Each structure stands twice: as structure tokens, then as C-alpha cells.
């Protein structure tokens, strides 16, 4: 089995400096060797460079910031991820901000049209151009993938290839008013931290899989935003929210999804190695690498 590390040093979907260095720190922490030690054949052809894309002038479109940059980069990522998937490889995309998931999931759905998406996050990332308050596109990728909101010409390449019933969230606890409306209107299944507390992570993952993958027959794209974890576990991230997943809950999700044998793509997003002291940065990078290993088969026994 081949894992393709897709390093995406990209921060255009949000305003905080540093999240583009997330992939660099994870590779420097040894994720390639760690996956090789697990038995994976690992492809890493260097981090994807987006400088040439940075050059374009890119005034906001409505509230959306860096729209042309985000569109161009995520389109490139879609081609890269889709290409690896079509070669039967497992793309492991290291972010970089979560707007990248517009590209990774587009790529996965191109190769695996019947894939389902399990989105681990404190946030729903489902704002449309009409509902966003920040204009930061890392809060919007899911709306593009579902084809919600008014079409934006600069994003016309994004096909609404994701069906609402093929999407499930775990870890939600900071949802904007507009997003709450969108989740309800589209009957999107979401297990917030309340459900995690109430049922326990084991039952929540089982219910999430029962919802999007009842026969355990569809490929799974796991999109993991490290801010789903409690800030005490992953402090160095752009939009931390208290009351998150424990270290073990985060790892259980990855272990349980690996156990299905259905994982076809993984995103590990929003590690920003410039937002905390050295020890906290190291902790966050280390947790990110550990989650990737667990999603790719590392077990405790």
C-alpha cells in the first residue's frame, strides 16, 4: 500500500500567519519515516509550491478574502489528490488551512464518486458567501462541496459532488447562526461535543458510520481539523475552542476508521506552528503526526 504525502503549505483561507508551515513541521518531525515504519510505501515529492499562484491581484469578492488564490490552489490540490487516488494510492494531505478540503474532497470524489466524508472539527466550515461573518474561506469549504449558496464564477470548477447524506461531523462546538440554519435545512448529521459526552466516542463513531456508510461499503474520506481536539491537547492552531476532544477520543476516531478498511483519503489540517511557545508547537505537531499514524493503521497492541 502506498501513501502519498501531499504537503500543502497554504494559509490563504484564513488571516493568521504560520499555518502554511504546518506541513513543513510535520515532515520535519518524521512523518514519512513513521509511516514507512508502519509498513507503508510512502511517496513524498516535496511540498506543493503555491508561490506562482500568490502573484495574482486578488481583491475580495463580497466578503470572501483571497478568493482567486484559494480557488486556484484548491483546484490544483484537487488534481493532485485525485491523481494519487486514481493510482490507488492513499493521499495524506497535510495543511495548511481547511479551505484546502475543497480541493482534497473534490479530488477524492473524482476518483471515488461514492465516497463519504467524515469531518472532525470544532467548526462546521459550511458558511456560504451569504452567511459568512469573517469572509475567511476556511470556514466555507463544505458549502462549496455541497453546492450551497449563490454560485461564485471564480469557483465554478468545484462540482457539487458531495451529497448531504454522505457527510457527517464529529466534535462540533462553535457553529455560526447561519451554519446552524444550513445544517438543519439540509438535514446534515452532526455529533457535537454534547453527543460525545452523552454516548461516548465509541458509540458516536458507530452512529456516524451507520449514517453515512450503513453497509460499510463506501470509501471514506476523513478530514481532521486539529482544532476538534481540546486546546490543551492541540494548542497551536488558528481557531481554538475550549471543550474539545481528548487525546484518546481523537485517536479513537482515527483507529476506528482505519479498522473499517475503507479509508481512501486523509486530511490533517490547521496545525499552525507559529501560535504558541516551542513546547506547545511541538506538542501540536506531535499529536498531528500521531493522528495520521493511527488513521493509517498504528495500533496500541
Ligand X SMILES: N[C@](CCCC[B-](O)(O)O)(CCN1CCC(O)CC1)C(=O)O
Q: Is 210 a catalytic residue?
A: no
123 binds Mn ion (CB under 5 A): yes
Q: Cα(25)–Cα(292) distance, rounded to whole angstroms?
A: 14
Under the criterion CB under 6 A, does residue 58 sit at the interface with ligand X? no
Pairing of strands 189-192, 220-225: unpaired
User: Among residues 121, 179, 230, 249, which is the contact residue for Mn ion, using CB under 5 A?
Assistant: 121
Is 270 a residue that touches ligand X (CB under 6 A)?
yes
Question: Per rule CB under 6 A, is residue 174 in the interface with ligand X?
Answer: yes
Q: Is 112 a catalytic residue?
A: no
33 is catalytic: no
**143: enclosing H helix or E strand:** helix 141-146
Answer for which of 25, 47, 84, 123 binds ligand X (CB under 6 A) is: 123
Q: Which residue has the cell 461499503?
A: 217
Q: Is 255 an interacting residue with respect to ligand X (CB under 6 A)?
A: no
Verify whether residue 227 is a known catalytic residue. yes
For 94, the enclosing helix (H) or strand (E) is strand 90-94
Residues forming a β-bridge with 224: 120, 268
Distant-in-sequence, close-in-space partners of 107: CB < 8 Å, separation ≥ 6? 77, 78, 79, 80, 81, 82, 83, 84, 85, 91, 265
- The answer to the question of residue 20 lying near ligand X (CB under 6 A) is no
Asked if 204 and 249 count as a contact pair (C-beta separation under 8 A), the reply is no
Beta-sheet strands, E only, within 165-287: 167-172, 189-192, 220-225, 263-269
Binding mask 29-68 for Mn ion (x = CB under 5 A): ----------------x-----------------------
Q: Which does 174 bind (CB under 5 to 8 A by kind): Mn ion, ligand X, none?
A: ligand X
211 is catalytic: no
Query: Which of 20, 225 has the CB closer to Mn ion?
Result: 225
- Specify whether the CB–CB gap between 117 and 47 falls below 8 A: no
Q: How many CB atoms lie within 10 A of CB 246?
A: 14
What whole-number distance in Å separates Cα of residue 14 and Cα of residue 269? Answer: 12
- Read off the C-alpha cell for 139: 470556514
* Vertex 163 angle, CA 258 and 7, to 5°: 50
What residue 127 binds from Mn ion, ligand X, none (CB within 5 to 8 A, per partner kind)? ligand X
Under the criterion CB under 6 A, does residue 173 sit at the interface with ligand X? no
Q: Which of 25, 138, 221, 251 is catalytic?
A: 138
Residue 139's binding partner, choosing from ligand X, Mn ion, none, with beta-carbon cut-off 5 to 8 A by kind?
ligand X
Q: Which CB sits closer to ligand X, 111 or 122?
A: 122
Residues 124-153 that bind ligand X (CB under 6 A): 125, 127, 132, 134, 136, 138-139
Q: Using CB under 5 A, which of the segments 23-31, 98-106, 129-137, 288-296 binds Mn ion?
A: 98-106
- Judge contact between 84 and 6, C-beta under 8 A: yes
Q: How many residues of this chain interact with ligand X, rule: CB under 6 A? A: 17
Residue 132, binding choice from ligand X, Mn ion, none, Cβ under 5 to 8 Å by partner class: ligand X
Helices 201-212 and 247-260: crossing angle in degrees, nearest 10, is 40
Give yes or no for residue 98 binding Mn ion (CB under 5 A).
Answer: yes
Positions touching Mn ion (CB under 5 A) are: 45, 98, 121-123, 125, 225, 227
Positions touching ligand X (CB under 6 A) are: 98, 121, 123, 125, 127, 132, 134, 136, 138-139, 174, 176, 225, 227, 238-239, 270
Q: Which residues are catalytically annotated?
A: 98, 121, 123, 125, 138, 225, 227, 270
Amino acid at each position: 500500500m502506498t501513501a502519498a504525502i501531499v504537503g500543502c503549505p497554504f494559509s490563504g483561507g484564513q488571516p493568521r500567519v504560520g499555518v502554511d508551515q504546518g506541513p513543513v513541521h510535520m515532515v520535519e518531525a518524521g512523518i514519512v519515516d513513521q509511516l514507512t515504519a508502519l509498513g507503508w510505501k510512502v511517496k513524498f515529492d516535496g511540498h506543493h509550491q503555491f508561490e506562482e499562484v500568490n502573484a495574482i491581484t486578488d481583491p475580495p469578492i463580497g466578503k470572501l478574502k483571497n478568493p482567486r488564490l484559494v480557488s486556484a490552489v484548491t483546484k490544483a490540490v484537487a488534481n493532485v489528490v485525485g491523481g494519487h487516488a486514481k493510482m490507488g494510492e492513499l493521499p495524506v494531505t497535510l495543511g495548511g488551512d481547511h479551505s484546502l478540503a475543497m480541493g482534497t474532497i473534490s479530488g477524492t470524489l473524482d476518483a471515488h464518486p461514492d465516497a463519504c466524508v467524515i469531518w472532525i472539527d470544532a467548526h462546521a466550515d459550511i458558511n456560504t458567501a451569504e452567511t459568512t461573518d469573517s469572509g475567511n474561506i476556511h470556514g466555507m469549504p463544505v458549502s462549496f462541496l455541497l453546492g450551497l449558496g449563490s454560485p461564485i464564477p471564480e469557483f465554478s470548477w468545484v462540482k457539487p459532488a458531495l451529497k448531504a447524506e454522505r457527510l457527517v461531523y464529529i466534535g462540533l462546538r462553535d457553529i455560526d447562526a447561519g451554519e446552524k440554519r444550513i445544517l438543519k435545512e439540509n438535514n446534515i448529521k452532526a455529533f457535537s461535543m454534547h453527543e460525545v459526552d452523552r454516548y461516548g466516542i465509541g458509540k458516536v463513531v458507530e452512529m456516524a458510520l451507520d449514517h453515512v456508510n450503513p453497509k460499510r461499503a463506501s470509501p471514506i474520506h476523513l478530514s481532521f481539523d486539529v482544532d476538534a481536539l481540546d486546546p490543551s491537547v492541540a494548542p497551536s492552531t488558528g481557531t481554538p475552542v475550549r471543550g474539545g476532544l481528548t487525546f484518546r477520543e481523537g485517536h479513537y476516531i482515527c483507529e476506528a476508521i482505519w479498522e473499517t478498511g475503507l479509508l481512501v483519503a486523509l486530511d490533517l489540517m490547521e496545525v499552525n506552528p507559529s501560535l504558541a511557545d516551542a513546547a506547545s508547537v511541538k506538542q501540536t505537531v506531535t499529536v498531528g503526526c500521531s493522528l495520521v499514524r493511527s488513521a493509517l493503521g498504528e495500533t496500541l497492541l
